[in-house]
Structure 1
């Protein structure tokens, strides 16, 4: 009776998970439009009519691409700890089953994606996750080969931790000098934790060390993802010069919704929608997104900690001069 009930319960949990996961991005997109319309239903319906779903999905992917490897690597780490600590719990834990059935190439792709998309100050954490997963995998597959298992579970984490500390040491000292304690912790603590995450924990505390962190992350992650995505741009910022011929020109700034045969629709920062007749439009321009100050002013060997490898590789448009229309002034004041 018990042996049949556990697989059924696990299948039911998996079915619920597979049902909720596809709906979560849709909920995020709807909440983004609700937030953009400033909780005005007619404005939200107008945005739904004109905003391209592909554009919103692209904004969702670009904004939240860093979360995909984080979820995969953390699940593999916690599930691996549970597998080596309490092997008898494999069939009854969704976390353990997920880690057991996760292919190695998925973990490899997740690590590569994280290396490109995570900020430099998070790369020591990535190294910690990789060596811990490698050690846990060795503990599962090479139990009889003790020298190899000891090298992978202890030697590799210690060696990688030392190399990472040598590389980021200037950043740790600079962060402590400037008072960025959180940055110093992110750089210095993860390399020290690698050797402690490659072995089993007491069987009686295995679920406490694995399931509860996974449940906490599952509860907090949607909130953090929602907060980040609600601030992501989904419409282009624009400035439109408006005015009949021979009269004073007014600059309307906002987010461009659509342009049709009769009018140009702009969503102002106050939440109001303005329909501008096309015969009164004198000029239009796209305005760059406001540049946010870097989250950390510390650099490690010339690499800013708030930058990622992808931001260095991808071409970046440099804004040298600000268009006066983006500041609310006409391009050619009379």
Structure 2
């Protein structure tokens, strides 16, 4: 208890360690909370249905859906932390030791940043790639300021020349998309494509020491508050069960109905389907005439802008990965038995 009344810098490091311990305790629980909320949302807030889903849903499938849906968020957190912490380190080195952002950026290995850049390059949409370019040149410039003791001309080239050149090349590439977005009234897309290359040179050097914590901590706090909300909203809409259609009817007789919904489980006696209304239907296996998987409905694109033939809402991974094109919808997915118009 006497340590609480010791003057000097003893209390601050202990408080920082305590805060980090709480943070490391809460972080692993966030994905688990997302999975539970996803089941609660899927069950339409009905506890018995949620318990049934918990019993049958494979956790690996939900974790896979979580990873695929939120793969963009991991590099965003890493790169933002590295840039904001680096700005604080070069702007106010004396106070950087009291900031968890600066400490995290200082202790972050380079290979982690490299992997984050590679993941972002493949998973971020085209309209976000100029922001990635801005973050990359900022990381390079801040790293050079922290570690290199080179000639002034070389430092100016790394801090100003490289960001300006990279921004100019990015602008040349995205200019058709910026012009198309402005003509189409999509000013948000135009801003995301055109603004980040102009901001790269501003993020590679120090800011006045009295403003350092303001320009780094408040954006970090805002991002920390907004990210869980955005992640939760995105994941709550992600599919975790296969959409299916089941033809039901007596053995040897005509099809009585087509049950559409999300397939929960198939056991020795019945097939369990979660309907869009939230009702759970148990179908005896003897009455199952056929089953089929139904494609997820595609949402209309938010932006019609394309940059040199590349849609602004598509990522590199979506561009190069093979996709299954649905040319004809199975009538069972529309609620009609096969062979009936």
TM-score > 0.5 by shorter chain: yes
Cα RMSD for the two superposed structures: 1.1
TM-score if structure 2 supplies the norm length? 0.96
**C-alpha deviations, 1:255-291, integer Å up to 9, x for none?**
0000111110000000000001111111000000101
Q: Compute the displacement of 1:248 (Å).
A: 4.5
Deviation at 1:17, TM superposition (A): 1.0
1:119 match: 125
Change (3 A) 1:248 1:134: closer
Question: For the Cα contact (< 8 Å) 1:142–1:148, is it kept in 2?
Answer: no
> Does 1:315 find its partner at 2:322?
yes
How far has the Cα of 1:246 moved from its partner? 2.2
Is contact 2:247-2:257 (8 Å) kept? yes
**CA–CA distance in structure 2, aligned partners of residues 4 and 314 of structure 1:** 54
Q: How does 1:76-115 map to 2 (within 5 A)?
A: 76-115=82-121
Q: Contact conserved, 1:154 with 1:195, CA < 8 A, in 2?
A: yes
Residue by residue, what CA displacement relative to the aligned partner does 1:287-326 show, whole Å, maximum 9, x if unpaired? 0010112221111111111111111222111111000000
Match of residue 211 from structure 1: 217
Structure 1 pair 305–171 and aligned structure 2 pair: CA distance change class (3 A): same
Matched, 1:236 2:242: yes
SS of the counterpart of 1:46?
helix
Q: Could you tell me whether the CA contact under 8 Å between 2:262 and 2:274 is conserved in 1? A: yes
Aligned residues: 334
Asked if 1:52 corresponds to 2:52, the answer is no
Structure 2 counterpart of 1:258: 265
Residues 128, 190 of structure 1: 8 Å contact kept: yes
Instruction: Kindly indicate whether residue 179 of structure 2 is the aligned counterpart of residue 181 of structure 1.
Output: no
TM-score (normalizing by structure 1):
0.98
Unmatched tracts of structure 1, length 5 or more: none
Q: Establish whether residue 333 from structure 1 lines up as the match of residue 340 from structure 2.
A: yes
The question of whether the paired residues in 2 share the 8 Å contact of 1:238 and 1:253 is answered with: yes
Q: How does 1:135-284 map to 2 (within 5 A)?
A: 135-143=141-149, 145-244=151-250, 245-284=252-291
Offset of residue 145 of structure 1? 2.8
Where 1:215 maps in the other structure, the secondary structure is helix
2-side partners of 1:287 and 1:332: how far apart? 17
Q: Distance in 2 between matches of 1:293 and 1:152?
A: 42
* Counterparts of 1:295 and 1:114, CA distance in 2: 21
1:324 maps to 2:331: yes
SS of residue matched to 1:333 = coil
Q: 1:306 maps to what in 2?
A: 313
Separation in structure 1 between the aligned mates of residue 60 and residue 310 of structure 2, nearest angstrom? 34
5+ residue gaps, structure 2, are 1-6
Distance 2:331 2:288 in 1: 16
Is the CA contact 2:85–2:104 (under 8 Å) kept in the aligned structure 1? yes
Deviation string, structure 1 residues 124-178 (Cα, Å, up to 9, x no partner): 0000000011111111122553111111100000000110000100001011111
Give the secondary structure class of the aligned counterpart of 1:3: coil
Deviation at 1:109, TM superposition (A): 1.0
Partner SS, residue 238 of structure 1: strand
Distance in 2, Cα, partners of 1:250 & 1:172: 51
